[in-house]
Chain A
Amino acid sequence: MPTEKEETRRQLALELERKAWRYRIDIIEMLAEAGSGHPGGSLSAIDLVSVLYHYKLRHRPAEPGWADRDRLVMSKGHGVPAQYVVMADLGYFPRAQLWTLRKLGSPLQGHPCARWLPGLDASTGSLGQGLSIAQGMALGSRLDGNPFRTYCLMGDGETQEGQVWEAAMSIPKWRIDNLTVIIDYNKAQIDGYVRDVMDLEPLADKWQAFGWHVLTIDGHDYRQIMGALDQAEQVKGRPTYIIAHTVKGKGVSFMENVVHWHGVAPKREEADRAIAELKEKAGIPAEEAVR
């Protein structure tokens, strides 16, 4: 017999899997409307972001400045459309604002701007900086008696930045266990596949050697994501690094694992084709309006 908690998790996973189709449709629609942006890394990260918000983060959409909220640093700032669609769904801002992405005056900046959008915990976009910021938040929480936990979502490409390894080295020094890092390991970056541009492997060995508790999961499997996030909270005396294997462009067949879709928005016709495919997979009627 599954425990009550396992059953709740199973039900939530099913619900979130259904939601994810709509989130993917929203990502495609908002990028098409914006005319620029990063579909590949938004689609690879959306399942991770969705589970974080719906399952793990202690947060209050109606009170985004709540002092004891868990923090989420989107270190791979170009993937922020994944965060926007979930935040809109949760009521952080009106859904209609999704279609203002990257437009003049919009709080939905091309890369996250915490000063303009309540609910974002850090402004990022210059890669490699988020983990250090998350470290500071985790240390601040510990000084206050650990009222909140900090999460940092990183990209694989940005792991090539030297600052990431400065942070990887320094965070275990403090023996903090209130920080969970997830890497969206989708294997592609603008100029090509990560292994060709600048290989990260052996990635798990590297973080283990730096003193981290390392977990490896399928970043599109909801129960694995939930399990890893739960497990990270049980680890004492050191931070946790979750390697989430993902697929760049996940969900849209012509985008999956294609480097081109890192930083190019779909044209209207391409977006319509992607959305039609996503609707079909999700069982959403083709005629149903996206917006």
Chain B
Amino acid sequence: MKPRATRDAFGETLERLGAEEPRIVVLDADLSESTRSFKFGNAFPDRFFQMGIAEANMLGTAAGLAATGRIAFCCSFSCFVTSRFDQIKVSLAYNDARVTIVGTHAGCGVGPDGYTQMALEDVALLRTLPNMTVLQPADDLEATQVVEYLVREHPGGPSFLRLTRQKVPRIHDESYSWQFGRIDVLRQGKDLAICATGATVHGALEAAARLADEGVQCTVANIHTIKPLDGEAVAELARSTGHVMVVEDHAVTGGLGSAVCEALCEAGATAPVHRVALREFGESGSTEELFGKHHLDGPGIYTEARSFLERF
């Protein structure tokens, strides 16, 4: 399989599901080409709402549509839509609206557009809302199944689907069956657990393979469901390896790294945790350069793992 962006899988899946589920409505804020929501819009123009560059109004409108029994998808770059936090808090979450916020172009993976187009705080923000579900697929196959879940099985309430602009390699084989709320253990080892999410998972696998060649056995867990996090499973990773690393294309504060620390503390599982994430503003550059700079790619994760294991 060629690498594909998770937003591509999203756009195709939503278009396909539009035919079987008439309750789906899709809203976009002048980025429908980029978010791939235009595919649904072309196929089902009556159920697609082009809201213009007005994300707050888009979110509220989606909440109102959800109140009439619809399954709404609100699409934009993650940075622009999740920064309307008060609308997400009140219009969506407090109304328990069945709206999926589709935030594409997550993290510094956006690349050359620079910091203002990078959502680096979105997971931290949305994770605070009691009824919010936060999902981040690691490849196109997983993204497809996540969208199917959101349409066919999600019990309701707001959700956040975090997607990449950049292409990511397929890490699952065709037989993969995504499980909501679980962690996806991709390989197992006794020395170190690497928890990764979204676009960093394939780099974690690459680093683990190199570490294995050098005799260090790693568990690699793909954390696609960031909220609700399977805290007990994460605690078990800590107990079985004694060392936990978390890698994410997000600010170091408040994201998956913080969620893992919280889960370990609450479970009484003691292990040092090393968080690999952005500790500064983003900047322009290619995705590869930025992932390299922030140690979110295979070589970077390898380096971080080595220094972590030296320190503990």
List residues of chain A with CB under 8 Å of any chain B CB. 67, 71, 73, 113-115, 121-126, 129-141, 143-144, 162-163, 166-167, 169-170
Contact = CB atoms under 8 A, between A and B. Distances in A.
Contact of A140 (B67, B89, B90): B67
Nearest to A136: B64
A132 B60 CA distance: 5
Contacts of A138: 64
A203 B203 CA distance: 57
B94 A136 contact: no
A114 B57 CA distance: 20
A214 B214 CA distance: 75
Nearest to B87: A129
Interface stretch (B45-53, B110-118, B254-262): B45-53
Nearest to B65: A136
A123 B51 contact: no
Among B59, B60, B72, B87, the most chain A Cβ lie within 10 Å of the Cβ of: B60
B151 interface: no
B91 interface: yes
Nearest to B54: A166
Contacts of B57: 132, 135, 163, 166-167, 170
B60 A129 contact: yes
Contacts, number: 103
B167 to A, nearest CB: 34
Given A114-B95, A123-B95, A125-B90, A132 B59 contact: yes
A37 to B, nearest CB: 19
Given A126-B90, A170-B51, A137 B60 contact: no
A169 B59 CA distance: 15
Contact of B64 (A134, A163, A169): A134
B70 A140 contact: yes
B83 interface: no
Interface string B63-80: 111111110100000000
Interface residues of B, number: 31
A115 B61 contact: no
A126 to B, nearest CB: 4
Interface of B: 25, 46-47, 49, 51-52, 54, 56-70, 72, 86-87, 89-91, 94-96
Nearest to A121: B67
Query: B interface, by DSSP: helix, strand, loop or mixed?
Result: helix
B87 A136 contact: no
Contacts of A139: 49, 61, 64-65
A143 B47 contact: yes
B90 A141 contact: no
A133 B89 CA distance: 13
Given A133-B61, A170-B61, A124 B68 contact: no
Contacts of B25: 140, 143
Contacts of B63: 122, 132-133, 136
Contact of A135 (B64, B86, B94, B95): B64
Nearest to B53: A166
Contacts of A137: 64-65, 67-68
A46 B242 CA distance: 64
Given A122-B67, A126-B90, A162 B56 contact: yes
B54 A136 contact: no
Nearest to A131: B60
Among B46, B68, B86, the most chain A Cβ lie within 10 Å of the Cβ of: B68
B60 A136 contact: yes
A135 B90 contact: no
Given A132-B58, A136-B61, A137-B68, 7 more contacts: A121-B67, A125-B90, A126-B90, A136-B67, A140-B65, A166-B57, A170-B54
Contacts of B68: 136-137, 140-141, 143-144
A139 B68 CA distance: 9
Given A126-B90, A129-B90, A140 B69 contact: yes
A170 B57 CA distance: 8
A158 to B, nearest CB: 13
15 contacts: A113-B94, A115-B94, A132-B64, A132-B91, A135-B57, A135-B61, A135-B64, A136-B66, A137-B68, A140-B25, A143-B70, A163-B57, A163-B87, A167-B60, A170-B54
A259 B216 CA distance: 70
A56 to B, nearest CB: 19
Contacts of B58: 132
Contacts of B89: 126
B53 to A, nearest CB: 9
Nearest to A147: B68
A166 B91 CA distance: 15
A106 B69 CA distance: 27
